Protein backbone atom coordinates (compact mmCIF):
# COMPACT_ATOMS: atom_id res chain seq x y z
CA UNK A 1 0.00 0.00 0.00
CA UNK A 2 1.24 3.44 -0.91
CA UNK A 3 1.70 6.06 1.76
CA UNK A 4 0.59 9.63 1.17
CA UNK A 5 2.95 12.21 2.48
CA UNK A 6 1.91 15.65 3.54
CA UNK A 7 3.44 18.48 1.63
CA UNK A 8 5.47 20.67 3.96
CA UNK A 9 3.54 23.85 4.85
CA UNK A 10 0.15 22.37 3.83
CA UNK A 11 -2.51 21.73 6.45
CA UNK A 12 -5.94 20.14 6.34
CA UNK A 13 -9.14 21.60 7.71
CA UNK A 14 -9.81 21.41 11.41
CA UNK A 15 -12.99 19.86 12.74
CA UNK A 16 -14.27 23.28 13.80
CA UNK A 17 -13.82 24.70 10.29
CA UNK A 18 -15.71 21.76 8.75
CA UNK A 19 -18.54 22.14 11.29
CA UNK A 20 -18.84 25.89 10.60
CA UNK A 21 -19.11 25.25 6.85
CA UNK A 22 -21.75 22.56 7.45
CA UNK A 23 -23.76 24.92 9.68
CA UNK A 24 -23.68 27.65 7.02
CA UNK A 25 -24.82 25.19 4.36
CA UNK A 26 -27.64 24.02 6.66
CA UNK A 27 -28.89 27.59 7.14
CA UNK A 28 -28.77 28.25 3.40
CA UNK A 29 -30.72 25.05 2.71
CA UNK A 30 -33.40 26.01 5.25
CA UNK A 31 -33.82 29.48 3.73
CA UNK A 32 -34.03 28.03 0.22
CA UNK A 33 -36.62 25.44 1.31
CA UNK A 34 -38.84 28.09 2.91
CA UNK A 35 -38.58 30.32 -0.15
CA UNK A 36 -39.56 27.49 -2.49
CA UNK A 37 -42.48 26.47 -0.24
CA UNK A 38 -43.76 30.07 -0.22
CA UNK A 39 -43.40 30.30 -3.99
CA UNK A 40 -45.28 27.01 -4.51
CA UNK A 41 -48.14 28.05 -2.21
CA UNK A 42 -48.69 31.38 -3.94
CA UNK A 43 -48.62 29.61 -7.31
CA UNK A 44 -51.38 27.25 -6.18
CA UNK A 45 -53.52 30.16 -5.00
CA UNK A 46 -53.11 31.92 -8.34
CA UNK A 47 -53.94 28.75 -10.27
CA UNK A 48 -56.99 28.05 -8.09
CA UNK A 49 -58.30 31.60 -8.54
CA UNK A 50 -57.80 31.28 -12.30
CA UNK A 51 -59.80 28.05 -12.26
CA UNK A 52 -62.51 29.79 -10.23
CA UNK A 53 -62.63 32.58 -12.82
CA UNK A 54 -63.04 30.00 -15.61
CA UNK A 55 -65.87 28.30 -13.70
CA UNK A 56 -67.65 31.64 -13.22
CA UNK A 57 -67.24 32.47 -16.92
CA UNK A 58 -68.64 29.06 -17.90
CA UNK A 59 -71.71 29.53 -15.71
CA UNK A 60 -72.22 33.09 -16.97
CA UNK A 61 -71.86 31.99 -20.60
CA UNK A 62 -74.42 29.24 -20.11
CA UNK A 63 -76.93 31.63 -18.51
CA UNK A 64 -76.31 34.24 -21.19
CA UNK A 65 -76.80 31.72 -24.00
CA UNK A 66 -80.10 30.57 -22.47
CA UNK A 67 -81.07 34.21 -21.81
CA UNK A 68 -82.08 33.35 -18.24
CA UNK A 69 -81.31 34.78 -14.80
CA UNK A 70 -81.65 31.47 -12.97
CA UNK A 71 -80.22 28.00 -13.57
CA UNK A 72 -82.45 24.95 -14.02
CA UNK A 73 -81.76 23.73 -10.48
CA UNK A 74 -83.92 25.25 -7.75
CA UNK A 75 -81.34 24.43 -5.04
CA UNK A 76 -77.56 24.88 -4.85
CA UNK A 77 -75.60 22.13 -6.61
CA UNK A 78 -72.07 20.79 -6.22
CA UNK A 79 -70.18 21.19 -9.50
CA UNK A 80 -66.73 19.88 -10.42
CA UNK A 81 -67.03 20.69 -14.11
CA UNK A 82 -69.01 17.56 -14.94
CA UNK A 83 -71.63 17.66 -17.67
CA UNK A 84 -75.31 17.76 -16.81
CA UNK A 85 -74.95 19.42 -13.40
CA UNK A 86 -75.05 23.17 -14.13
CA UNK A 87 -77.56 23.63 -16.93
CA UNK A 88 -79.96 26.29 -18.15
CA UNK A 89 -82.83 25.84 -20.59
CA UNK A 90 -83.88 28.62 -22.94
CA UNK A 91 -87.51 29.52 -23.67
CA UNK A 92 -87.10 27.58 -26.94
CA UNK A 93 -86.19 24.44 -24.99
CA UNK A 94 -82.46 24.45 -25.85
CA UNK A 95 -80.43 23.13 -22.93
CA UNK A 96 -77.10 24.84 -22.29
CA UNK A 97 -74.50 23.05 -20.17
CA UNK A 98 -71.84 25.12 -18.39
CA UNK A 99 -69.34 22.27 -18.73
CA UNK A 100 -69.21 22.85 -22.50
CA UNK A 101 -67.59 26.23 -21.83
CA UNK A 102 -64.77 24.54 -19.91
CA UNK A 103 -63.70 22.74 -23.10
CA UNK A 104 -63.09 19.41 -21.36
CA UNK A 105 -61.15 20.78 -18.39
CA UNK A 106 -61.61 19.04 -15.06
CA UNK A 107 -61.94 21.40 -12.09
CA UNK A 108 -59.69 20.62 -9.13
CA UNK A 109 -62.38 21.88 -6.75
CA UNK A 110 -66.06 21.10 -6.32
CA UNK A 111 -67.91 24.41 -6.16
CA UNK A 112 -71.34 25.10 -4.67
CA UNK A 113 -73.36 26.86 -7.38
CA UNK A 114 -76.50 28.74 -6.33
CA UNK A 115 -79.59 28.87 -8.59
CA UNK A 116 -78.67 32.46 -9.54
CA UNK A 117 -75.33 31.19 -10.92
CA UNK A 118 -73.10 32.49 -8.13
CA UNK A 119 -70.40 30.28 -6.66
CA UNK A 120 -71.02 30.42 -2.92
CA UNK A 121 -68.52 27.92 -1.55
CA UNK A 122 -66.49 24.75 -1.94
CA UNK A 123 -67.21 21.21 -0.78
CA UNK A 124 -63.99 19.51 -1.89
CA UNK A 125 -60.67 20.50 -3.45
CA UNK A 126 -57.40 18.96 -4.66
CA UNK A 127 -55.21 22.05 -4.11
CA UNK A 128 -52.54 21.97 -1.41
CA UNK A 129 -51.58 24.84 0.86
CA UNK A 130 -54.60 27.06 0.11
CA UNK A 131 -58.04 27.62 1.63
CA UNK A 132 -61.37 29.03 0.48
CA UNK A 133 -62.05 32.45 2.06
CA UNK A 134 -65.41 34.16 1.38
CA UNK A 135 -65.46 34.04 -2.45
CA UNK A 136 -61.86 33.26 -3.47
CA UNK A 137 -58.77 31.18 -2.70
CA UNK A 138 -55.96 32.33 -0.38
CA UNK A 139 -52.61 30.88 0.61
Q: What would the pLDDT profile of 64-83 be if each residue is shown by its tens digit?
A: 999 999 999 999 999 999 99
Residues in the chain: 139
Sign of the Cα pseudo-torsion (107, 110, 112, 113, in order): positive
Q: Is the predicted pLDDT of residue 94 greater than 90, yes or no?
A: yes
How far from 93 is each of 52, 68, 112, CA to CA, in Å?
A: 28, 12, 25
The mean of the pLDDT values for the chain is 89
- Torsion (CA) 27, 38, 139, 60 in degrees, nearest 10: -170
Percent above pLDDT 90 for the chain: 67
Other Cβ atoms within 10 Å of 59 Cβ, number: 23
Q: Is the predicted pLDDT of residue 127 greater than 90, yes or no?
A: no
**What's the pTM?**
0.71
CA atoms of 116 and 32, how far apart (whole Å):
46
Amino acid sequence: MRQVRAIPGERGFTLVEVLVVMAILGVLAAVATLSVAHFMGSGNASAANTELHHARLAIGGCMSEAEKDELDSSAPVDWDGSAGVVTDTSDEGVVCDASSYLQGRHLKATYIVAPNGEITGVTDQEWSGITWVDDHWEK
